[in-house]
Structure 1
Amino acid sequence: MREQQPSRSLILTIDDDHMIGLMLHDVLDREGFEVLSVANGRDGIGMINARRPELVLLDVMMPEMDGFECLQLIRKIPGMELLPIVMLTGADDTDSINRSFELGATDFIVKPIHWPTLPHRLRYFLRASSALSELAKSEADLRTAQKIARLGSWDWVVEEDKMEWSDEVFNVLDVAPDEFDGQCRDIYKRLVNADAEKLLQAIGRCAKNKQNFHLECQIRHANGSDNVLLVHGEPIVVGNDVTRIHGTIQDITERRRIEEQIRFLSYYDPLTHLPNRKLFKMILGQAMAYSNLNNAEMSALFISVDRVKRVIETLGPSVGDQIVKLFADRLVAKVQECAYVPVNVGYDANHDYDINQMLVSRVGGDEFVILVSNIKDTSDSIKIAKSVFQVIEQPFSIEEHEIFLSMSIGIAVYPGDGVDEDGFIKNGKVAMSHAREQGQNDYQFFRKSLNVAAFHKLSMENNLQRAIERDELLLFYHAIVNMRTKTVIGCEALIRWQHPELGLVPPSQFIPIAEESGLINYISHWVLESACTQMRQWQQQGLPLQVISINVSSTQFRKDTFADEVSQILARLNLAPGHLKLELTESILLDGIKDVLGTVKQLRALGVQISIDDFGTGYSSLSYLKKLPITELKIDRSFIRDVHLNDDDKAITQAILGLAKSLSLDVVAEGVDHQEQVAFLLQQGCEFAQGFLYSKPLPAAEFAKFVLGFGR
């Protein structure tokens, strides 16, 4: 590869003496310069615009346009302010030399030219020009950086009281340069009085004690706005005296605003402006220390607002945010009404919370905490809890929606329910979870036994995760029979967990855990696919079954893709949709009927049957039965158990059967264990049943044998 040659410096000579032009070209070309030569000023101006030379040799005496006029025109060309221009003049032409410097010439060379030294002088001019250009660029960059940073510099000569400023100082202080007298007192003109005095003292100490200083000051602009300045000073010591103080002035208003915003986001919830989890934990630690020091008790109410996630899923995050904000406002107002101690809530950048006060915090998306110091006994916490429940008595009106919420409250007391912040918070949340399990709008105190239950639940969750990985889940099948013809028409698929240590675990013990942990989605899909696969295998074996029923969880059913998921499984297995029946609880149907209706219609369009499980135990409504294209009702076992003995159960069962007949729905009676129940049901026109009278739930192989042998 050829080594790249260094570029040659471009020299322009402007001289009407043709012989001088030739000599300059010859000498300089041999010395490694690239030379352009023109004979008059106008051509020289044109060449400068076209080629941008690095140095110009300009003759003073030329016809039409002399060197002085040409020099002036060159300096007016943008970017040519620092171009080295060397004038060529006679040795005794002192006036021309002086005038050349006045008009901006870099230097001069007298004629006759001393040719051996000329290249060396030109190289010196070029080096000096390059250094000057770099310096100008650095100064321009510094000015730009100072403008961006809102940073100005100042320099004070102490003995002369002479102050020099950079241009940015005037911008920072919002003053015109002619307003300053060049003395130290100028710096105080825009400061508020108290800060001006502080700065005066700081500069005095700097001059006396030879110490740097940093001081924040407030400046008031003419329009009334206030900005924050950071003034820095550093003494320059000569001998034993401070001769000068060099410093900077920076406008840090935006920095302070950003720092304050970061502080706010670090310690406060941006939606409600309540203390967040981090700040709550800090205050809790102070409250614990106060309780220890004063032998006092305190409590915390951990609040979970139910259904907020459902609101977000249904109506969108904007409505969810509005609900949370309205709830927080109501909660704060309600707590402030309590007659125990005052409340201090909300964002205040300059306020330190008093640990003797009640504090409301938002510690999660739908979780809040009320911290109460100096309680007399647990009855104080109960009174507050009951008062807090009043927050949700009235609906929340958002964008033409009326939304009712419920909540659960867990109460932890210190000392007793935790030795540190983390333990206390954990126990409070355990109590809150326990309250949620008890039903809506309940409160529960923490008990050590709850931790045992929570540990057991966590252990079950971990084991359930491993059960999925190890294929420990299996299906049992419970026969659905026609009591009149004594034939098995189908079955209900029931999930079981074959635990390696606990044995066969019923769904009531692990399905709630699966729902809380999110494992329910995988389990529900597994049940659907496994049951359909088994039904297809039985058909291929010639087993005379008409339908297989599968229980559907709320989480599974509310997936937008659920109907498509069912369709894909049926198509893949080549199972006719009419052989599949999905059992839904009334709670699924009643909680958002509009959303449910679309999915039910999609499933019915496929040909899948829809059954209402445990009918009669929920909030039954004729309106949803009329709207939804369901095919079957299942009478809950609680009505069937004593139907042949109890008049109320008889009346309820007869009413359900009459309703089903009027709506042309099939009916399956659950929990049929006695012939007396069969006789009554057949008399009332109910033909289909499930119960131990016929069979308990069986594994697939045993169920197939049962079907083949039934009625023989």
Structure 2
Amino acid sequence: MTPEPEQPGMPQAEGNAARLLELRLLQRSVEASANAMVITSAAGPDFVIEYVNPAFERITGFSAAESLGRNCKFLQAGDDEQEGLVEIRRALREQRAGNAVLRNYRKDGTPFWNHLYIAPVTDAQGTVTHFVASQYDVTETRSVQEALHHLATHDPLTGLPNRTLLHDRLQRMMAAAQRHNSQIWVVFLDLDRFKFFNDSLGHKAGDTFLKTVAERLQHVLRQTDTVARLGGDEFVLLLSEQPGTRLNFVLLDRIAHAIGQGITFEQKEFFLGCSMGVAAYPADGVNANALIERADLAMFQAKERGRGNYQFYTADMNARALERLRIDNALRTALERGEMLLQYQPQLDLESGRVVGMEALLRWHHPDMGLVPPDRFIAVAEETGLIVPIGDWVLRTACRQVRALHDAGFAQMRVAVNLSARQFGHRELLASIEAALSEAGIAPRFLEIELTESLIMKDVDQAIRILNDLKCLGVTLSIDDFGTGYSSLAYLKRFPLDILKIDRSFVADVNADPDDAAIVASIISLAHNLRLKVIAEGVETGEQLAYLRQLGCDQMQGYYFSKPVAFDGIELLMRSGRGL
């Protein structure tokens, strides 16, 4: 410090005594201060401590002896990525005053917050020789602020982030995803049947369910993910993609499984499900509100599809909903307007090379939409129940047209008709088939009923009863697309079947993929051991045909011989005598 000039007439001894008194007063004041005071050297990079006051020892737990000669960073205990430290380090380098709020750690390891002020001390020449630092313990104030912030940003019931914090986290995650060229899934989750339980059991039960779900979601998600509650039974999950990994459906399945576990309330167990909608950043938007809204829209789509599933947002989701409504309305009058028609794909015996049967394929020709592909209307017909009257029309038309072939001299022709899940479980199924056979005047053995593996495996015992009833009618029974479902030998031998149809996906690579070739050979061997015939679907090349013949496959159908054709085309083909 630069000495002040002596007052005129003041003796030197008196001036020295006054300065000494002033220094002693300053020292006693520093030592009596309730705030921690530290004096450090201005020599970097260590800026070692040269003095600490008693308050520093009391607040930190470190004695003067343990502190002198050290850099103050030991107070951070390795927690040195704090924003405030950047400002303090810059002030030391630039030899200026600075301040910041820092998280420090006492000797026993407990954290505390302090507001640190530093200022340079210069000598008589103006050179910075030291820094003096004052530390104000603001832990209590900080705790109150954090408590208020937590109330403002968290759901009081579950403790999860609320909408405010959700938006903040999503903004931060989007910024990180943009830097790393990765994606985020925003999942809007709604509990199925929650309102029923809440209304029936009361709000206490509802609160228990919500808190349990919140705990399960936090447990099943990763530390990098976020789960927030928007209110009611609505939750939003933010799933981030990590370096070297991709987001996949397994995580969504784990979430659904966790929610589906039983919840105990008043010694009784209850089961909830959930429906989820997913919007992806950046594919579905770069705005937080838009992403949440689109995930919400996808969730409603999942609800419409029967709950208990998840749907991904698509840009044409609204358009698809309108399309579905249009298809639904048009289907209701399609039969009476005569818009439905059947095409047939010939089935040939591989030993004789002759056409022995045909598969009926449903087509819809709408006056405005043109030829509507089955994948556009079959699912709608199934969901609405219209598949039952449509399926009945298919049965009657196919039986009538195969009878026309019989009358034309092709008395051994049979026709195969696919049954949907709705038809298979309908109480009038047997009566419908009997009526179709009776009206057409054909023997039951000329009608083949095709079913999928997944359909008959949903309820095996019921399927066996229905199949036995169908068998009693005398119709032929086949499993379509065999090999793609999950039937086992234990069940397969219990079904009264006549034919297995090998799925086209195996036939396509039978000459190029040893695994597919082995599967086809195994299916043929299995079927013959169970005294069943085998039809290969999707045969398109002579090489495929030769391999199937070599394995002893009984029949085939596919583009190698003919595409599906209208009934007139089948009749012309039969009259031509064309075969393999």
TM bracket (short chain): 0.5 to 0.7
What aligned pairs does 1:656-671 form with structure 2 within 5 A after superposition?
656-671=523-538
**Residues 1:605 and 2:472 are matched in the alignment:** yes
Give the equivalent residue in structure 2 for 1:647.
514
What is the alpha-carbon distance in structure 2 between the residues aligned to residue 705 and residue 404 of structure 1? 60
Question: How many Å apart are 1:532 and its aligned residue?
Answer: 1.2
Corresponding residue number in structure 1 for 2:484: 617
Q: Give 1:660 deviation, angstroms.
A: 0.6
Residue of structure 2 in register with 1:489 after alignment: 356
How far did 1:442 drift?
4.1
Aligned-partner SS, 2:552: coil
Listed as ranges, the matches of 1:303-322 within 5 Å are: 303=190
1:571 and 2:438 matched: yes
Q: Deviations over 1:565-610 (max 9, x none)?
A: 2123222332211111100000011100011111100010110111
Once residues 337 and 311 of structure 2 are traced to their aligned partners in structure 1, the CA distance between those partners, rounded to angstroms, is 39
Equivalence for 1:508: 375
Partner Cα distance (1:335, 1:424) in 2: 19
Confirm or deny that 1:681 pairs with 2:552.
no
Q: Partners in 2 of 1:424 and 1:673 — Cα distance?
A: 43
For residues 435 and 547 of structure 1, the distance between their equivalents in structure 2, rounded to whole angstroms, comes to 37
TM-score norm. by structure 2 comes to 0.55
Deviation string, structure 1 residues 226-266 (Cα, Å, up to 9, x no partner): xxxxxxxxxxxxxxxxxxxxxxxxxxxxxxxxxxxxxxxxx
Matched, 1:415 2:314: no
The aligned counterpart of 1:706 is 573
Do the aligned residues in 2 keep the contact of 1:643 with 1:649 (CA within 8 Å)?
yes
Other structure's SS at 1:627 match: coil
Give the counterpart letter for 1:415 in structure 2: N
Cα distance in 2, alignment partners of residues 404 and 626 from structure 1? 36
For 1:553 and 1:583, the matched residues in 2 are separated by 9
The residue that corresponds to 2:214 in the other structure is 335
Letter in 2 for 1:430: Q
Cα deviations by residue, 1:423-480 (Å, 9 ceiling, x for unpaired): 99756413656898xxx85453x45432223222322222333423422110001101
Alignment partners' CA distance in 2, 1:327 and 1:613: 46
The DSSP-based 3-state class of the residue aligned with 2:335 is: helix
CA distance in 1, matches of 2:460, 2:208: 30
Q: Identify if the C-alpha distance between structure 1 residues 291 and 601 changes in structure 2 by more than 3 Å, giving closer, same or farther.
A: closer
Query: Cα offset for 1:524?
Result: 1.2
Q: 1:703 to 1:404 in 2, by over 3 A?
A: farther
Q: Kindly tell me: are residues 338 and 534 of structure 1, through their superposed partners in 2, closer, same or farther at Cα, counting changes over 3 Å?
A: closer
* Equivalent of 2:338 in 471, 487, 497: 471
Which residue number in structure 2 is paired with residue 429 of structure 1? 300
Q: What pairs with 1:80-91 in structure 2 (closer than 5 Å)?
A: none
The whole-number CA distance in structure 2 between the counterparts of 1:327 and 1:611 is 49
Q: 2:188 aligns with which of 286, 295, 301?
A: 301
- Does the residue aligned with 1:617 lie in a helix, a strand or coil? coil
Distance in 2 separating the partners of 1:464 and 1:304: 33
Which residue number in structure 2 is paired with residue 276 of structure 1?
A: none
- Deviation of 1:620 (Å): 2.9
What is the match of residue 559 of structure 1? 426
Give 1:190-589 correspondences, 5 Å limit: 301-303=188-190, 333-336=212-215, 358-361=230-233, 370-371=234-235, 388-391=255-258, 408-411=275-278, 415-416=289-290, 428-430=299-301, 442=310, 444=312, 446-589=313-456
Identity %: 34
CA distance in 1, matches of 2:463, 2:444: 19
Q: 1:620 to 1:329 in 2, by over 3 A?
A: farther
Residues 329, 592 of structure 1: CA spacing in aligned structure 2 closer, same or farther, 3 A cutoff? farther
Partner SS state of residue 501, structure 2: strand
By how many angstroms is 1:564 displaced? 2.5
Alpha carbons of 1:675 and 1:515: their partners in 2 closer, same or farther (altered >3 Å)? same
In the alignment, the residues of structure 2 paired with residue 532 and residue 449 of structure 1 have an alpha-carbon distance, to the nearest angstrom, of 40
Q: Provide closer, same or farther for how the CA distance between residues 392 and 610 of structure 1 changes in structure 2, counting only shifts above 3 A.
A: farther
Write the deviation string for residues 613-667 of structure 1: whole angstroms up to 9, x where unpaired: 0001111311121111110000111111121232212111110011011100011
CA contact (8 A) 2:212 2:263 kept: no
Letter in 1 for 2:523: I
Write the distance in 2 (CA, Å) between the matches of 1:404 and 1:655. 42
Alpha carbons of structure 1 residues 305 and 707: separation in structure 2 relative to 1, 3 Å: farther
1:415 match: secondary structure = helix
| Post-superposition offset of 1:357 | 6.0
Q: CA offsets per residue over residues 468-524 of structure 1, 9 Å max, x none? A: 342211000110111221211010000001122343223122211211222212211
**Which residue does 1:8 correspond to in 2?**
none
In 1, are the aligned partners of 2:483 and 2:502 still within 8 Å (CA)? yes
CA contact (8 A) 2:191 2:272 kept: no
- Counterpart code for 2:571: A
TM-score, reference length from structure 1:
0.46
Please report how far the alpha carbon of residue 411 of structure 1 lies from its aligned counterpart in structure 2 after TM superposition.
Answer: 4.9
- For the Cα contact (< 8 Å) 2:402–2:413, is it kept in 1? no
Q: 1:690 aligns with which of 540, 557, 569?
A: 557
Equivalent-residue separation in structure 2 for 1:474 and 1:385 (angstroms): 41
More deviation, 506-515/387-396 = 387-396
Instruction: Give the deviation of 1:390 after TM superposition.
Output: 3.4
Residues 62-81 of structure 1 mapped to structure 2, 5 A cutoff:
none
Distance in 2 between residues matched to 1:328 and 1:608, nearest whole Å: 56
Structure 2 CA distance, aligned partners of 1:515 and 1:491?
A: 24
Residue type of the alignment partner of 2:301: V
List per-residue Cα deviations over 1:368-421 (Å, max 9, x = no partner): xx246xx9x6769x9996774233565899xxxx999986411589833699xx
Q: Residues 481, 417 of structure 1: CA spacing in aligned structure 2 closer, same or farther, 3 A cutoff?
A: same
Q: Is the 8 A contact 1:385 1:443 kept in 2?
A: no
SS in 2 for 1:409: strand
**One-letter identity of the residue aligned with 1:301:** F
Change in Cα spacing, 1:472 to 1:405, as seen in structure 2 (3 Å) is farther
- Conserved in 2, the CA contact under 8 Å of 1:297 and 1:415? no
Task: Pick closer, same or farther for the CA change 1:406–1:622 going to 2, 3 Å.
Answer: farther
What's the counterpart of residue 75 of structure 2?
none
Give the Cα separation in 1 of the matches to 2:544 and 2:187. Answer: 53
Does the residue aligned with 2:493 lie in a helix, a strand or coil?
A: helix
Checking the alignment, whether the CA contact within 8 Å between 2:476 and 2:497 is kept in structure 1 is yes
Relative distance call for 1:625 and 1:434 in structure 2 (3 A) is closer
The answer (yes or no) to whether the contact 1:556–1:562 under 8 Å persists in 2 is yes
Give structure 2 stretches of 5+ with no counterpart.
1-161, 171-185, 194-199, 220-227, 242-248, 280-286
Q: Distance in 2 between matches of 1:447 and 1:526?
A: 35
Partner Cα distance (1:591, 1:562) in 2: 18
Residue 679 (structure 1) shift: 1.5
Taking a change above 3 Å as real, the CA distance of residues 296 and 652 of structure 1, as seen in their structure-2 partners, is: closer
Taking only aligned residues, the RMSD between alpha carbons, in angstroms, comes to 4.3
Q: Which amino acid aligns with 1:333?
A: T
Q: How many angstroms does 1:544 deviate by?
A: 3.9
Q: Is the 8 A contact 1:301 1:385 kept in 2?
A: no
Amino acid across the alignment from 1:688: Q
